[in-house]
Amino acid sequence: MSAPPTQPRDRAAVLCGLAGWLPPRVVTNEELAGRLDTSDTWIRARTGIGRRHFAEPGQATSDLAVAAGRRALRSAGMDEVDAVVVTTTTPDRSCPATAPLVADRLGLTGAAAFDVSAVCTGFVYGLASAAGLIAAHVAERVLLIGADTYSTIVDPLDRTNAIIFGDGAGAVVLRAGHSDEPGAVGHFDLGSDGAGEELIMVAAGGSRQRSASGPVAPQDHHFAMRGKEVYRHAVTRMTASARATLTLADRKVDDIDRIVPHQANLRILRSVAEDLGLPSERLVTNVESVGNTGAASIPLALADAAARNTIHAGERVLLTAFGGGLTWGSCLLTWPALARTDRPHDNPHDTGGTQEP
Ligand code: UT7
């Protein structure tokens, strides 16, 4: 009897390192209620958020990204990669991208480095971009960092947005491997609807409303969101995208052990899990302690869950996100056995081995 023909195994990006980093300054609901017309009770009831972290004045997104990136490289046991992808809505500058600076500060000068901009869907878009680099043999190892400092663009007197957002960074390392290995990322579903541009925006500072060409009203530099409409889109888009991903992968909802949605608002996360028919025990959330951290939110939730041992090797994990654009996206993976990851809250002054940031 002849041996069965060997099937070529598909090349795929495999998650092999994970970390998060939060700036030390904790801002409680009580602190916000001291200067805004709000209360801990309102914030907890409407969002599930209890506190968040803010960068110090002068601390930029790259500072957080470097700290998370260094920890993720350490988690992967790597000191070199071929590409660094940073996904953020709050880059250090509108030009150049933040990724080359982050790569340089991590000792990765020479690696390909670029930013991905998809607001709160940034991490899933970044994951697809990084996986594409690996699938196309452009890179063997990619460091992907989601980092945001919303405290730099949210109006501190805007009680609706000031209570939701926090700062932070989360990072993963991906290596070339095979689609049947634990940690292999995919399938993906990505989508957008630019007709919803005005639901989430910073009006000024781009080519449409240039700061350089005349005075700009201060509020146009601030983050603006039509919360109620965004809320509805977030639930329907994340649910539909999660379902589309399951269909692509020929999986059922029952096959999902953990759902890790973008940490927008606990009520949104619970609605998505409920609409999908997933029991609440399978929902991974850290929104109570960090708020909405934009592109950092999914990797921070993963790092927190991994460090607390609430996500386990072999479990099938569904990531789903929604954000400005409008954009949305989802991704499936089987959780790999990772070296122990530190909680993003632990050792707040540990930036991964140097004095930075
Ligand atoms: O990351 C991208 C995705 N982002 C999101 O998914 C965020 C989506 N939106 C939300 O999470 C929610 O819409 C918010 C948390 C922003 C607001 O919650 P809501 O339950 O939709 O409240 P609302 O906007 O309908 O406001 C209800 C009331 C209003 O007062 P009136 O008009 O009923 O008298 C608001 O003025 O609550 C008032 N309000 C507040 N009260 C106390 C709004 N913000 C606050 C506040 N404290 N911070």
pLDDT, residue 217, reads 85
Does ligand 1 have an atom closer than 6 angstroms to the CB of 121? no
Residue 120 is among the residues annotated as catalytic for this protein: yes
pLDDT at 356: 46
How far, rounded to the nearest angstrom, does the alpha carbon of residue 345 sit from its chain's CA centroid?
16
Taking 60 as the threshold, does the pLDDT of residue 152 lie above it? Answer: yes
Which residues, in sequence order, are CB contacts of 343 under 8 Å at separation 6+? Answer: 20, 303, 304, 307, 308
Q: Where does the pLDDT of residue 357 fall: very low under 50, low under 70, confident under 90, or very high at 90 and above?
A: very low
What is the CB neighbour count within 10 angstroms for residue 347? 13
Q: How far apart are CA 317 and CA 335, in angstroms?
A: 6
Q: What pLDDT, on a 0 to 100 scale, did the predictor assign at position 7?
A: 56
Mean predicted confidence (pLDDT) in 329-342:
89
Distance 245 CA to ligand 1 centre (A): 30
Which amino acid residue places its CA nearest to atom 46 of ligand 1? 38
Q: Is the CB of residue 171 below 6 angstroms from any atom belonging to ligand 1?
A: no
Dihedral in degrees, nearest 10, Cα atoms 250, 311, 340, 285: 110
Q: What is the dotted CATH code of the domain comprising 10-349?
A: 3.40.47.10
In terms of pLDDT, which residue wins out, 8 or 305? 305
- Per-residue pLDDT of 339-348, as tens digits, reads 767 778 655 4
What is the residue extent of each domain of the chain?
10-349
User: Which of 41, 231, 326, 328 has the most ligand 1 atoms within 8 A of CB, as the residue to mutate?
Assistant: 231
pTM (predicted TM-score): 0.95
Q: Pick from 29, 31, 228 the residue to mutate for probing ligand 1's pocket: most ligand atoms within 8 Å of its CB.
A: 228
Mean pLDDT taken over the chain: 93
Atom number of ligand 1 nearest to Cα 267:
11
What pLDDT, on the 0 to 100 scale, is given for residue 347?
52
Identify the active-site residue in 16, 120, 233, 265: 120
Count of beta carbons in the 10 Å neighbourhood of residue 74: 18
For 320-329, the pLDDT digits (tens) are: 999 999 999 9
